[in-house]
Chain A
Amino acid sequence: MNQDTDGKDAREAGRQGGPLGLIDGPDTILALVLVALCGLLYWVSAGFPEPGLFLGENVLPEHFPRLLLIAIGVLALLLPFEHRLEVDRWPLIRKSRSAPIGASTFVTMGCLLILVGIGEWIGTILTIVVAAVGLPLLWGERRWLLIIPYAAIFTGTVTYLFSIVLSVYFEPGVFGLTLR
């Protein structure tokens, strides 16, 4: 039996709830990332300015966050061994994290970030119109007779409600789009 087959068998055993190692690889990485982040934030807290003389008698501003970072760090160190403790619920975590992330999820994330990035430039109204038209298209909707009335009526109503009824200021953007 070669090494690849061994690895495959071990993965299969893990999937079927067979014997597991002492520590779980992905959770060890997660724990290390969390501990490193806690360490970094602890270090950042060391750079907080000193409070004034009278205020210094209070609990120092870094005191409470540091306690939390220590608690998170200690709990994170338990993560690599969690699969041996949570035998019933552990398969759910494994199933959830091993499910592939679809390309559509990454594309949706990317488009969301781009939309937020250009939002201030194109203005609030156009941002929500792009969201209402873009997401259906992104997710494979091609029935224009559905998309256009939906986008027009829905975004129109929401814009009217927030801009006119609730008096929320809408950034007009470079196109100067505003209801007021």
Chain B
Amino acid sequence: MDLMLTGFAMVADPAIIGVILIGVIIGVLVGALPGLSSPMAIALLIPFTIPMTPIAAIAMLAGLYCAGTFGGSITAILINAPGAPPAAATALDGYPMAKRGEAGRALGLATISSVTGGILSLLILLLAAPLLARIAITFTSAEYFALALFALSMLASISGKSSIRNLIAGFVGVFLSTIGIHLTTGVERFTFGVNELYDGLPFVPVLIGLFAVAELLKQSRVGETVFERVRANVMKLPSRQDFQRIKYTVLRSSGLGTFIGILPAEGATVAAIMGYNEARRWSDRKEEFGTGIPEGIAGPEAANNAATGGAMVPTLALGIPGSVSTALILGAMVMHGLKPGPYLLENQPQFLYAIFAAMLIANLAFMAIGIAGAKLFSQLTLIPRTILWPSVLVFAIIGSYAHSSSFFDIWVMAIAGIVGYFMLRIGFGPAPLIMGLVLGPIVEENFSKAMIIHDNSILSMMERPLVLLFFGLTILSLAGPVRSAIKARRNRNLLMATKEGE
């Protein structure tokens, strides 16, 4: 209890509440604007946190993370343009409801479901993270290596255009993390004589390049989009009847979203799609889905916001990111001198409560901001792209430069952006690469230690049951996409055979 109070007291500072609110406003703004994403905003915001205390910095980023997921639902409902991928499923029923003249009701349902999902997942974070950390503290480097390998293998199944490409991008990310001085032997690796690379590839410029500059280049050939707007009345909180109707959907989606969030690499987008599908599967009005029914909004919204709390569980307890946004938060924690993982929760347990309090404040804040400003946020899409994207470029330049006041970092950002743009074109997403870059040092450090302890023998490592379990899970995780591919191929062949028969 004392620890909980200490944690809450760490956040109760007006300055920290202020930065959480700023994070929430930026999150809702970014979430509402199609093209801008939460990971991009976190990457751009990290440089602003440099002079902050670690707790203020992480609280701000956590606030942005929660609110960014919710913000996408505003434009999904009002203009049928999901501001963020996790809100795509919300548009399926949110927009038809808004078109029926019930935009306020749709926004209210989305807000309440999001907040409920977010808060329930935070409660699970509070219970699960210390338990997981207690187990993880007994892990040797062999188990940690196997766990990190499992997290990397999960990249094969994260949303994207291809499992193989996700894995390649993940391994490239891990490879990039090996650039610089090898900490154990002091040998320079892949620096090609560039002094600035001795400490490794600068993390923030790479993030900004891959998320912001690559997207900017993609937007360079997109014309100005004119959205059909639905007139938004004042947001209405759900009626008692609506509450009755969505309560089980919200509970089920919150549980599902939290579970998906906990799985390494799986994030809010997958949670939202599954939340929508499950809401439909359990409903006795399946045929009404897509016409604007409350369950179609509550299902994905509760799930995608629950995934944010869920994704923080492995991030804080194991130091293994649960999603790309938490990978960035993890990177920011390392930048601020924290080492996320079981020892952080063992030595500074109040940190968990502080994060919990920050995310709780963020959830309540975006409810208030969402209710008060939904109409305003939907107007953000009126900002011309010729003003929006130059602003992103200015933040990208200054954000890359600020960390070490070096133009070399701006070069890294520009090159990462151009490479990221071409990667996007050929089906490689930035998310797996960033996950690999974050997981890289953990994988290598534990691999090296485990190899020394086990006399360079992987077989000897596998004598440990948990290592065997994680290796087994890795194989299952890699087999998943192969099985789906075979199934999809079989279905396609069947379809073609039926067509030929006809």
Spell out A's residues near B (CB within 8 Å). Answer: 26, 30, 34, 41, 44-45, 48-49, 51-52, 55-65, 68-69, 71-72, 75-76, 78-79, 82, 84-90, 92-93, 96-97, 99, 101-102, 104-105, 108-109, 112-113, 116, 119-120, 124, 127-128, 131-132, 134-136, 139-141, 146, 150, 154-155, 158, 161-162, 166-171
Q: Is the CB of B389 within 8 A of A169?
A: no
User: A89 and B407 in contact (CB under 8 A), knowing A64-B444, A71-B171, A96-B424?
Assistant: no
Residues of chain B within 8 A (CB-CB) of A52 are 185-186
Residues of chain B within 8 A (CB-CB) of A61 are 182, 184-185, 187, 189
Residue B127 CB within 8 A of the other chain: no
Q: Give the Cβ gap from B48 to chain A, nearest Cβ, in Å.
A: 7
Residues of chain B within 8 A (CB-CB) of A41 are 175, 190
User: A60 and B185 in contact (CB under 8 A), knowing A93-B427, A141-B384, A155-B394?
Assistant: yes
Residue from B190, B395, B444, B451 within 8 A of A44 (CB atoms): B190
Interface string of B145-189 (1 = CB under 8 A from A): 000000000000000011111011001101100100010111111
Q: Give the Cβ gap from A152 to chain B, nearest Cβ, in Å.
A: 13
Q: Give the Cβ gap from B70 to chain A, nearest Cβ, in Å.
A: 26
Closest to B172 in A: A72
Stretch at the interface among B250-258, B281-289, B398-406: B398-406
Q: Is the CB of A139 within 8 A of B389?
A: yes
Residue from B389, B426, B451 within 8 A of A59 (CB atoms): B451
Q: Is the CB of B161 within 8 A of A92?
A: yes
Q: Give the Cβ gap from A140 to chain B, nearest Cβ, in Å.
A: 7
User: A45 and B189 in contact (CB under 8 A), knowing A93-B162, A108-B217, A119-B410?
Assistant: yes
Residue from A71, A102, A141, A154 within 8 A of B391 (CB atoms): A154
Interface SS of chain A: helix, strand, loop or mixed?
helix
Q: List 30 A-B contacts (CB under 8 A).
A: A44-B190, A45-B190, A48-B188, A58-B448, A59-B452, A61-B184, A71-B171, A72-B175, A75-B164, A75-B167, A76-B168, A85-B164, A85-B489, A86-B488, A89-B162, A90-B162, A92-B161, A93-B162, A96-B426, A97-B425, A108-B220, A116-B411, A128-B394, A135-B393, A139-B385, A141-B386, A141-B387, A150-B387, A169-B405, A170-B405
Bound Cα distance from A46 to B168, whole angstroms: 22
Q: Give the Cβ gap from B399 to chain A, nearest Cβ, in Å.
A: 9
Residues of chain A within 8 A (CB-CB) of B486 are 85
User: A97 and B426 in contact (CB under 8 A), knowing A109-B217, A140-B386?
Assistant: yes
Q: Is the CB of B414 within 8 A of A88?
A: no
Query: 4 extra interchain contacts, Cβ-Cβ under 8 A, other than A87-B489, A124-B398, A135-B386?
Result: A61-B187, A92-B161, A97-B425, A162-B402
Residues of chain A within 8 A (CB-CB) of B391 are 132, 154
Residue B213 CB within 8 A of the other chain: yes
Q: Is the CB of B164 within 8 A of A135?
A: no
Residue from B50, B184, B189, B456 within 8 A of A166 (CB atoms): B50
Q: Give the Cβ gap from B181 to chain A, nearest Cβ, in Å.
A: 9
Q: Is the CB of B190 within 8 A of A131?
A: no
User: A105 and B164 in contact (CB under 8 A), knowing A128-B398, A158-B394?
Assistant: no
User: A131 and B425 in contact (CB under 8 A), knowing A87-B485, A87-B489, A119-B410?
Assistant: no
Interface string of B428-448 (1 = CB under 8 A from A): 000000000000000010011
Residue B390 CB within 8 A of the other chain: yes
Bound Cα distance from A97 to B426, whole angstroms: 5
Q: Is the CB of A132 within 8 A of B390?
A: yes
Residues of chain B within 8 A (CB-CB) of A92 are 161, 427
Q: Is the CB of B185 within 8 A of A34?
A: no
Closest to B222 in A: A102
Q: Is the CB of B418 within 8 A of A68?
A: no
Bound Cα distance from A155 to B181, whole angstroms: 37
Q: Is the CB of A68 within 8 A of B390?
A: no
Q: Give the Cβ gap from B12 to chain A, nearest Cβ, in Å.
A: 24
Residue B397 CB within 8 A of the other chain: yes
Bound Cα distance from A30 to B422, whole angstroms: 12
Residues of chain B within 8 A (CB-CB) of A59 are 184, 447-448, 451-452, 456
Q: Is the CB of A171 within 8 A of B405?
A: yes
User: A168 and B405 in contact (CB under 8 A), knowing A141-B387, A158-B394?
Assistant: yes
